[in-house]
Each structure stands twice: as structure tokens, then as C-alpha cells.
Amino acid sequence: MRIHLIAVGTRMPSWVEEGYGEYAKRLPRECGLALKEIPMAKRQRNSDIARLVADEGQRMLAAIPDGSHVVALDVTGKQRGTPELAAALEQWLAGGRDVCLLVGGPDGLAPACLQRAHERWSLSLLTLPHPLVRILLAEQVYRAWSIVQNHPYHR
């Protein structure tokens, strides 16, 4: 199984790439984490935001491998504690399908992405900066894997 983090936005600061990379490299091959960056549509003063978000969404949907279990990160999604995430990861691993985590841009995910998702997950009631979300997701996936594997990282 592979976990695909499909996120809107490119050219992240080096601290984001380093933080994400640190946790992604810790995951074993059978639970690998791969980042697919989707370029953010250029916003201008009079931009049609709904159209731009829809365009980003179409590019995100095109990046989803066939047969994947899709999880949309959305404020309306279910909040999970670390043990619940570990249980979900265990189910994903047992299912044998790739998992795609969809992270939208500053204006959220396109309705088409939300409709395509098998489930929705909310990281927090707080508004988090999108670059930080990448690191947070990588760390939490690694932490969940460490719980499933009875690894001492999560104590």
C-alpha cells in the first residue's frame, strides 16, 4: 500500500520540505508516503474563485491512482485522535488499496473532490497553514504506523 498526499501548492519553504521528508523517509516501503503537488491556480483581484478551485480539483482527481481509497481533508470531516488514526491506518493496510489524502488550497477542496472521497477527515478545529499541514500529516501517519507496529516512537 502507498499513501499519496495530493496537495495544492508548490515551492514550499525548505523547512516544510525538510519536515515532511524527515517523517516520510521513516515509513517503510509497505506504507510509503508520496507527495504529489498540484499547482495552485493564479488568483487575481477579480478571479472566479469557484472556477479556480474547480480547476485545481480536476487536477487533483486526475492524480488519484485507480482503485485508491480517497480521504478528503476538510473542516467538516471527522476528527480523529491518534489511536483512531492508527485503527484507520490498520484498516487501510489490511485493505491493500492505495490511500489518497487530498489537501486543498487556501479556498478549500473542490466539490468534485469532496464527492469523490470515501471519507472526510478534519485535522483540527484550528485553521492551520497549508505548509504545516504537510508536516503534520506526515508525522501523524508515521505515529499511527508506529502504534500499529508497536514501535517505541509513540509512548
Determine if residue 123 is labeled as part of a ligand binding site.
yes
Determine if residue 82 is labeled as part of a ligand binding site.
no
CA 102 and chain centroid, separation: 5
Q: What's residue 60's pLDDT? A: 98
Give the span between the Cα atoms of 153 and 131, in whole angstroms.
Answer: 24
Q: Which residue has the cell 506526515?
A: 138
Determine if residue 114 is labeled as part of a ligand binding site.
no
Q: What's residue 100's pLDDT? A: 98
Give the span between the Cα atoms of 16 and 82, in whole angstroms.
Answer: 22
Q: What's residue 153's pLDDT? A: 87
Q: What's residue 41's pLDDT? A: 87
Residues (pLDDT < 50) of the chain are: none
Give pLDDT tens digits for 66-98.
999 999 999 999 999 999 999 999 999 999 999
Determine if residue 35 is labeled as part of a ligand binding site.
no
Determine if residue 77 is labeled as part of a ligand binding site.
no
Determine if residue 124 is labeled as part of a ligand binding site.
yes
Give the relative orientation of helices 130-148 and 82-95 as an angle to the nearest 10 degrees.
70
Give the span between the Cα atoms of 16 and 32, in whole angstroms.
Answer: 18
Determine if residue 125 is labeled as part of a ligand binding site.
yes
Give the span between the Cα atoms of 151 and 35, in whole angstroms.
Answer: 24
Kindly list the structural domains of the chain, giving each domain's residue range(s) and its CATH number in brackets, ordered by start: 2-148 (3.40.1280.10)
Give the span between the Cα atoms of 12 and 89, in whole angstroms.
Answer: 27
Q: What's residue 44's pLDDT? A: 85
Q: Which residues of 91-110 are buried (b: 16+ CB within 10 A; e: fewer)?
A: ebbeeebbbbbbbbbebbbb
